[in-house]
Structure 1
Amino acid sequence: MSTLTYESTALLGRQLARLRNNPGLLILTQTMPITMLLFFGYVFGSALAMPGAEYRAYLVPGLLVATAANGIMTGMFQAAQDVHRGVTDRLRSLPISRASVLLGQSAADVVVTAAGTVPLLLVGLAVGWRIDGSALGAVAAVALLLLFRFATTWVGILLGLMTRSEEAAGQLGGATFVLPLLSNAYIPTDGMPGWLRTVAEWNPISAVTTALRDLFGNAPVPEDAAWPVAHPVAGSLLWCALLLVVFVPLAVRRYGRGER
């Protein structure tokens, strides 16, 4: 086992223990997507052209991706908390790789997300969602979802390292709630005005959501959409790669420099 892997695994354990000691936050992050599924599925579903059960089947992949996009918020808050409580300074004083601390945080976040995906999928099955594609496609969908969560967590980590206070991180993290609204996670984009549809379809959340719907066999891929949505799996992988290539080096560099 390489030094980086060993250090990252140890720090992953630290992050999981941290969550275990804060059960309120863990419960909130696990139950919020289920609450949104029931609310959107039964309240908004009755106001849309889709019948209720059909809309809930359409909604489940979107909520999965919206939850994954919340990696920005959780990554930001945890990084800011460590910085402003002096934990980051203590970790910097240890003879460990700069990347291992952040890799441990992002890996722990993916583990928690994977565990939280299970109850959401079970509730989705209970309200009418089904996996209509192959088992291999379903596995690929979950893997893509976790990859997207991993990528968005690094975005949040960089922003958290740059914030001036924990309160600022919380306020900025709350603003990320609007990102799924500007996508096809909750409603189709074909009824949006032209300029708004373009913005929504170039939102990475739209590509990943369409990819999950395709891999789960829930909905066909729209042919008249922007390229990332018309080619959702390739578009999702490219978005994830772009986020990782840009934000991982920036976050590691910012962490190493110790600036606020």
Structure 2
Amino acid sequence: MSAATDAVPAAAPANPISQSVRDSLVVAKRNLIRMSRIPEMVIFGLIQPIMFVVLFSYVFGGSMNIGGSTDSSTYREFLMAGIFAQTVTFATAGAGAGIADDMHKGLIDRFRSLPMARGAVLTGRTLADLVQTALTLLVLAVVALLVGWRTHTNLGEVLAAFGLLLLVGYAFTWIGALIGLSVRTPEAATSGGLIWLFPVTFISNAFVDSSRMTPWLRHVADWNPFSATVQACRELFGNPGVSSSDAWPMQHPVWASLIYSVLIILIFRTLAVRKYRSATA
């Protein structure tokens, strides 16, 4: 028998898509296990949004005019969509710090030495952050109900609103991933992940009615991707705060939120994966 007939056939190459999915889930599991062993990460992540709910609801609630009403309960329902959206976007800082920490410790280089999809390390990290964000939203929703927040639509619309929040939160974690790969320390990633989020979240319709802003600031707020998600959630929750703006994102906030989120994922995932490859080359 010839050597050719004795040779064992080579294994077929793995499907790149299935390998990427499998590797991403493995990395996500690793990060979730790590998070479960450091519960203070989750606890501290909950404290800030709960503080915002209590402070804005009870300190500023009676002085805010929403649709001609200064009733604090009206403002609480107006506020919660903004607090939910702020909470999921602030996860950006944690994502950036986590990736920067892995880079600083050399863990990314060890992942690179393994036969795994290049984008799986970042995708797995962002998926783990998405799970943590979902848990944070669940706890925050319970707190919101305790302080008087209510929805006035059906269950499907409420779940759709939370789905939009998770999508925009996932999109913003890719911005955090790019920041984490671009700095040298986790501390710098945390600062870099927060410094631009404050103007994004406060120059919006999250905490005040944008119609009361000066004209140029109102236009910025109305076209802010963050504002689109907040407005979409208010509509899906049936909460007060219907916008009188004729800007397209305010007239079609659900579609605007979806489009903004998908564009952010496509752009920043591409940039982050490219940065990952060059940073670990």
TM score, norm. by length of structure 1: 0.95
Q: 1:259 deviation in Å?
A: 5.6
Taking the aligned partners of 2:53 and 2:183, their CA distance within structure 1 comes to: 32
Q: 1:33 deviation in Å?
A: 0.9
Taking the aligned partners of 1:36 and 1:101, their CA distance within structure 2 comes to: 33
Question: 2:228 touches 2:250 (CA, 8 Å); kept in 1?
Answer: yes
AA aligned to 1:36 is: F
Residues 1:157 and 2:173 aligned together: no
Which residue number corresponds to residue 254 of structure 1? 275
Unaligned runs of 5+ in 2: 1-16
Which residue number corresponds to residue 100 of structure 2? 80
Question: 2:61 touches 2:71 (CA, 8 Å); kept in 1?
Answer: yes
Question: 2:112 touches 2:280 (CA, 8 Å); kept in 1?
Answer: no
Decide which moves more: 167-176 or 218-227.
Answer: 218-227
Q: 1:149 deviation in Å?
A: 0.7
Determine which of 38, 55, 74 is the counterpart of 1:22.
Answer: 38
Question: 1:76 touches 1:159 (CA, 8 Å); kept in 2?
Answer: yes
Determine which of 207, 213, 219 is the counterpart of 1:198.
Answer: 219
Residues 1:36 and 2:52 aligned together: yes
Taking the aligned partners of 1:75 and 1:13, their CA distance within structure 2 comes to: 15
AA aligned to 1:7 is: D
1:201-216 to 2 correspondences below 5 Å = 201-216=222-237
Residues 1:92 and 2:82 aligned together: no
Taking the aligned partners of 2:280 and 2:59, their CA distance within structure 1 comes to: 46
Residues 1:70 and 2:90 aligned together: yes
Structure with max Cα Rg: 2
Which residue number corresponds to residue 11 of structure 2? none
AA aligned to 1:31 is: I
Taking the aligned partners of 1:11 and 1:90, their CA distance within structure 2 comes to: 13
Decide which moves more: 147-156 or 22-31.
Answer: 22-31
Decide which moves more: 67-76 or 170-179.
Answer: 170-179
C-alpha deviations, 1:53-90, integer Å up to 9, x for none?
11111111110001111132122111111111211111
Residues 1:45 and 2:65 aligned together: no
Aligned pairs, how many? 260
Taking the aligned partners of 2:194 and 2:269, their CA distance within structure 1 comes to: 22
Unaligned runs of 5+ in 1: none
Determine which of 200, 210, 217 is the counterpart of 1:189.
Answer: 210
Q: 1:32 deviation in Å?
A: 1.7
Residues 1:13 and 2:29 aligned together: yes
Q: 1:160 deviation in Å?
A: 0.9
Taking the aligned partners of 2:46 and 2:35, their CA distance within structure 1 comes to: 12
Question: 1:62 touches 1:186 (CA, 8 Å); kept in 2?
Answer: yes
TM score, norm. by length of structure 2: 0.88
Q: Secondary structure at the match of 1:2?
A: helix
Q: 1:179 deviation in Å?
A: 2.2
Taking the aligned partners of 1:162 and 1:117, their CA distance within structure 2 comes to: 28
Question: 2:102 touches 2:108 (CA, 8 Å); kept in 1?
Answer: yes
Identity %: 38
CA RMSD, Structure 1 to Structure 2 (Å) = 1.6
Determine which of 240, 243, 247 is the counterpart of 2:264.
Answer: 243
Determine which of 75, 78, 82 is the counterpart of 1:55.
Answer: 75
AA aligned to 1:45 is: G
1:111-130 to 2 correspondences below 5 Å = 111-130=131-150
